[in-house]
Amino acid sequence: MIAENIAKNPKRSRSWVGLSIPALIAFLVLIGLGTWQIQRKAWKEALIAALDAQLAAPPIALPAAAKWPGLDRTTDAYRRVSFTAVFDNAKEALVFAAPSTFRPDVSGPGYWVFTPARLADGSVVLVNRGFVPDGRQNPNTRVQGQLAGPVDIVGSMRWPDTPHWFTPDDEPAKNLWFTADPRAIAAAKKIGPVAPFYVEQESPVPPGGLPKPGKLMVTLPDNHLQYALTWYGLALVLVIWFGVWAYGASRGEPDGAGDLPPQRGSSASL
């Protein structure tokens, strides 16, 4: 029936072919996007499971400085470690605290306090001692938290994030950083060689509570199933729409102004 009606109307045949090809391309794109989101969902769930296991494991001894170059951020990031070190409070750095998916206990404007921690062998690792709210960035407002002497630290190893286009430039002259980059901070503070990673401190909590350390938690969003259903739903809508259009075409129903009958009094009736 469809082929017969199309054969009687070459113009409609051209319309059929001209619309079916882009419709098929759009359908395949929508299905591809939905399938990609399903794959992303599996990847995200595996990542969350791996991070949960990493952050739930008991801490191990911090790797010796000689092993730092051989560490792999893909497998060693978020590994919990313990070590004893002395803080160099005079060289602490403030990193702007953007909303963190790993510290849901922290909110509001503020800063992460990064402090050099010197180990017994003389090597240095930067430690994110925790959060201070805006107005408490001056160490004189939290003197109790400026720990002296050896401190037993437990935390998780992290590597610096890659800056984005909209990441502001660091301002070392103001002791303000927007990227938690241990080596950049060490160079500006003239600390010397430091570990390529930093440690997110979870304990001990200093007297006075500031800086506020905390255990990292996995709160990564996982909306990929919702996105997949959206793409698949759009593909279904496209199929239904095209089916309705094809059915109308097979019945010879007009689909444009060119199929309308001449109007009385118009030039078409002359």
Domain edges within the chain: 57-203
For 15, 89, 107, 247, the CA distances from 85, given in Å and listed in that order, are 76, 12, 29, 77
CB distance 237 to 229 below 8 Å = no
The per-residue pLDDT string of the chain (270 residues; one tens digit each, 9 = 90 and over) reads: 444 554 555 555 556 666 788 889 999 999 999 999 999 989 888 878 888 888 889 999 999 999 999 999 888 999 999 999 999 999 999 999 887 767 888 888 999 999 999 999 999 999 999 999 999 999 999 999 999 999 999 999 999 988 888 889 999 999 999 999 999 999 999 999 999 999 999 999 999 999 999 988 877 778 888 999 999 999 999 999 888 887 777 666 554 444 444 444 444 333
* Interacting residues of 80 by C-beta distance below 8 A, sequence separation 6+: 54, 55, 57, 58, 59, 60, 154, 155, 156
In three-state secondary structure terms, 203 is strand
Specify burial of residue 37 (Cβ count, 10 A radius: 0-12, 13-18, 19+): buried
How far is residue 219's CA from residue 170's CA, in Å, rounded to a whole number? 27
- Residue-wise pLDDT tens digits, 18-40: 678 888 999 999 999 999 999 99
Q: How many CB atoms lie within 10 A of CB 50?
A: 13
Question: Against a cut of 0.95, is the pTM above it?
Answer: no
User: What is the CA angle 183-206-53, rounded to 5?
Assistant: 65
**Residue of 33, 2, 31 lying closest to 16 (CA atoms):** 2
DSSP code per residue over 171-198: BGGGTEESS--HHHHHHHHT--S--SSE
CA atoms within 13 Å, Cβ hemisphere of 226: 3
* Interacting residues of 216 by C-beta distance below 8 A, sequence separation 6+: 55, 78, 102, 103, 156, 200, 202
- Residue-wise pLDDT tens digits, 66-112: 999 999 988 899 999 999 999 999 999 999 988 776 788 888 899 99
> Amino acid letter at 193?
P
Specify the pLDDT at position 260. Answer: 42
